[in-house]
Amino acid sequence: MSGCVFCRIVSGDAPATKIFEDDILLAFLDIRPITRGHTLVIPKNHASDLDDLNPALGAQLFAGGHRLAKAMRRSDFPADGANLLINDGKAAFQTVHHVHLHVIPRQTGDTFTFAKGFVLRRPHDMEHTAAAIRTGLDRLAAEERETHA
Ligand code: 5GP
Ligand code: ZN
């Protein structure tokens, strides 16, 4: 959709630090992360909010976020957990009206860092951070291959 910043990222007309993509989904780092590795997962086709989103696509979106949360635990900045969150609609503080699932990695005892990040929203070293999460995805895929071997 023209005028939608996330559609422009999908089409390559706007830059983003990408983590993974397939035919359906794209995951990229949030430009104003709450914690290092804060990622957004979006459907490539525009849907403005949950009311506008095909439920099967919603399930795929969650599956993408689930996989990322697992990858973050296996990354070079290993997370102990993650917050997965959708702000659905203006009333819920949605500011970009293209559905997106936030995946926010968390560390045990990070309450202060999290609160500070929530206020400051400063980017970390984006390329390094993205590479670490991609490594986590590779490790997850290797584990899955071992399990099914
Ligand atoms: P919302 O409040 O709509 O759930 O969050 C939108 C998120 O998108 C925010 O966390 C914001 O930092 C992020 N964001 C907004 N514009 C851009 C952009 O152009 N690129 C990236 N990577 N993230 C963006
Ligand atoms: Zn869009």
pLDDT digits (tens, 9 = 90+) for 70-93: 999 999 999 999 999 999 999 999
- pLDDT tens track for 12-66: 999 999 999 999 999 999 999 999 999 999 999 999 999 999 999 999 999 999 9
Strands 18-21 and 81-85: unpaired
Q: CATH no. for residue 103?
A: 3.30.428.10
**Which amino acid does the sequence have at 18?**
K
Query: Could you identify the residue written with the tokens 């949030």?
Result: 30
Q: Please tell me if the CB atom of residue 142 comes closer than 6 angstroms to any atom of ligand 1.
A: no
Count of domains observed in the chain: 1
pLDDT of residue 1: 81
What is the position in ligand 1's atom list of the atom closest to the CA of 97?
A: 3
**Residue 118's CB: how many other CB atoms inside 10 A?**
11
Task: Give the global pTM.
Answer: 0.97
Q: Please tell me if the CB atom of residue 48 comes closer than 6 angstroms to any atom of ligand 1.
A: no
Check: CB of residue 71 under 8 Å from CB of residue 89.
no
Q: Of 9, 84, 96, 119, which is best to mutate to test ligand 1, by the most ligand atoms within 8 angstroms of its C-beta?
A: 96
| For range 130-140, the mean pLDDT | 98
Considering only CA atoms, which of 18, 7, 56, 53 is closest in space to residue 133? 18
By residue range, what is the domain housing residue 95?
5-148
pLDDT-derived band at 148 (thresholds 50, 70, 90) equals confident
113 token code pair:
């860092």
Å from CA of 48 to ligand 2 middle: 7
Q: What angle do CA 39, 40, 42 make, to 5 degrees?
A: 150
pLDDT-derived band at 2 (thresholds 50, 70, 90) equals confident
112 token code pair:
């202060």
Strands 18-21 and 25-29: antiparallel
Let me know if 100 is a catalytic residue: yes
48 token code pair:
């403005």
Smallest-distance ligand from the CA of 92? 1
Of residues 38, 97, 100, 102, which has the active-site annotation?
100
Helix (H, G, I), strand (E, B) or coil at 20: strand
Å from CA of 141 to ligand 1 middle: 28
Q: What angle do CA 140, 18, 84 make, to 5 degrees?
A: 65
